[in-house]
Amino acid sequence: MSRKLYLLTYGCQMNEYDSAKMADVLAKSHGFERTNVAEEADLLLLNTCSVREKAQEKVFSELGRWKDWKSARPGRLIGVGGCVASQEGDAIARRAPIVDIVFGPQTLHRLPELLERAGKAGVPAVDISFPEIEKFDRLPEPRAEGPTAFVSIMEGCSKYCTFCVVPYTRGEEVSRPLDDVLAECARLVEQGVREITLLGQNVNAYRGRMGAHETCDLALLINHLARLDGLARIRFMTSHPVEFTDSLIEAFAEEPKLASYLHLPVQSGSDRILAMMKRGHNRAQYLEKIRRVREARPDLSLSSDFIVGFPSETDADFMATMDLIAEARFDCAFSFIYSPRPGTPAANLRDSVTAQDKHRRLEILQGRIRLLDAEFKEKLVGTTQRVLVERASRKGEGQMTGRTSTNRWVNFDGSDSLIGRFVDVYVAEALSNSLRGRLLTEPAALAA
C-alpha cells in the first residue's frame, strides 16, 4: 500500500507552487500519494511563511496540535519547509522536538534524501542551504492539473526592502535559463494547459540565460511564450515597480496573449515612507508608469500590495496613500498591517504607530479598495468577456466558472465539457466576489 502525504501550505503562490513540487518529488521517489485526511497520512509537511509575525507563530501552534497524531502510529514523520524553516533552521526542531525534517524553499528537491536520513541518527535531518538553480534541474516532469498552471521562472529577491524577510529566507534573485522555462511551458501546454502564470518574488527582474552569451528579460520571455501554439493566455506575478520597464509596457501594448491584469505592489503613497522602505522609487515615478501602462492597455485591472502602520507613518502619510489609490485607481489590493521581522533593518525602528491607528487605517484602505473593485466589476456588466473555463462552479449544479482576462471570476450555466476552453460570456450582474454571466458561444463553434 502506498504511503500517504498530508501537506499544509501557508503564504504566497510561490509556496503553493513549491508544495505541488514537494508532492511530485515524493510521489516519484517514494510513491507517496497526497491525502486530505490527516489520519490516513504517514508524512506531514508544513510549508511555512514568515512574511508576517502571525504566519510565523501559526507554525508553532500548528505543530503543537500534531503531537498526538505523531504518537498514534510509530514511524510517522513531520517535516517543516518554506520560509520559517529557512530562517530558523534546526531551532525549529529544538522548539518543537516532534519535527524530523527541516528544509528550505531551495532544498525541497532533496526531500527524498532527507526522508531517508530522518529519525535514523536520533537527530532531525536539516538542509536549508541555497544551492541556486539546482532545485529546478532535479524536479520531476511538470504535471498539468487543469487548464491553468504556474511556472516559476526565478527565485528569491535582491531588493532588500527594509521591512521584508524574503531576501533572507529565499535568497537573492536567480533566474532559470530561457530554454528550461520554455520547455516546461511546452510540456504543460501538451497536457492541455491554456493559461500560464509566470511566478517569482520579483518576476520582472528575470534575466534568464539565452544561448551561450545572452540574457533574456521578462518581456522577451513573454514574446517567446506567446509563440507557443495552444497557449492562449499569459500572466505574471509579482513585479517590482523599479524594474517595470518600457519593454514590459510595450508587451502590454503589443502582445494580445498577455492578460489585462497587473499586480504592481507600491506599499505606500508617501515619498517619505517609500524612502524609509528603500523601495527605490517615489510616488510620481510610480504614477508615471501606471499612466503609461494604462495607455498601452486601457482595460487593465491594476492591483497592489499596501502596508499600513510602517514605523513613524503619520495620518498625512496615510492620506498620501489614499490619494495615490484614488489617482492610480487600483481595483484590487492585498493590504497588511506592518509586522516587524527579526533581522530586517526596519525592525530596529521604533514602532510608533498605535494599534488603534493601524487597524483604523487598514479598515479605511480596504473599504476604499472594495468600492473600486465594485466599480470595476460594475463596468464589466453589459460587456462580453472571454473566459477560460477552469472548473465546475461551487455556486451550484450545472454552473461553470472561469476568469476574465482582467482576473475576475465569472459563473454561468454550462457543462463540464467546456473545461479548458475559451468561451464568450455576456456579463449580466456584478456580485461581491464574482460576476454572473450568460454563455454566448455555442461549444461547437469555439476557437481558442
The interface region with ligand F3S, picked from 73-81, 162-170, 318-326, 404-412 by CB under 6 A, is: 162-170
The nearer residue to ligand F3S, 362 or 427, going by C-beta atoms, is 362
The nearer residue to ligand F3S, 223 or 239, going by C-beta atoms, is 239
Cell of 235: 500572466
Judged by CB under 6 A, does residue 302 bind ligand SAM?
no
Q: Closest-CB residue for ligand SAM?
A: 305
Alpha-carbon 207 to chain mean position: 19
Judged by CB under 6 A, does residue 305 bind ligand SAM?
yes
Per-residue contact string for residues 363-392; x = within reach of ligand SAM by CB under 6 A: ------------------------------
- Match 456580485 to its residue by C-alpha cell: 431
What is the footprint of ligand SAM within residues 153-172 (CB under 6 A)?
157, 163-164, 166
Pairing of strands 148-152, 77-81: unpaired
The nearer residue to ligand F3S, 103 or 244, going by C-beta atoms, is 244
* Cβ atoms < 10 Å from Cβ of 417: 10
- Taking 3-state DSSP, the helix, strand and coil percentages for the chain, each rounded to the nearest 5, stand at 40, 25, 40
What number of chain residues touch ligand SAM (CB under 6 A)?
A: 19
Q: Where are the beta strands (DSSP E) in 230-353?
A: 233-237, 261-263, 301-308, 332-337
Cβ-count burial 289-312 (b if 16+ within 10 Å, e if not): bbebbbeebeebbbbbebbbbbbe
Residue 101, strand partner residues: 79, 125
Judged by CB under 6 A, does residue 307 bind ligand SAM?
yes
Single out the residue of 5, 12, 20, 225 in contact with ligand SAM (rule: CB under 6 A). 12
Judged by CB under 6 A, does residue 105 bind ligand F3S?
no
Selection from 141, 158, 159, 157 nearest residue 149 by Cα:
141
Please name the amino acid found at residue 150.
F
Judged by CB under 6 A, does residue 167 bind ligand F3S?
yes
Question: Nearest approach, Cβ of 195 to ligand F3S (angstroms)?
Answer: 24
Question: Cα separation of 312 and 447, whole Å?
Answer: 55
Report what 401 binds from ligand F3S, ligand SAM, none; CB cut-off 5-8 Å by kind.
none
Q: For the purposes of burial, counting CB atoms within 10 Å of the CB of 331, is it exposed (0-12), middle (13-18) or buried (19 or more)? A: buried
The nearer residue to ligand F3S, 244 or 318, going by C-beta atoms, is 244
Residues in touch with ligand SAM (CB under 6 A): 12, 51-52, 157, 163-164, 166, 201-202, 238, 240, 265, 267, 305, 307, 336, 338-339, 341
The residue ranges that bind ligand F3S (CB under 6 A) are 157, 159-161, 164, 166-167, 201-202, 240
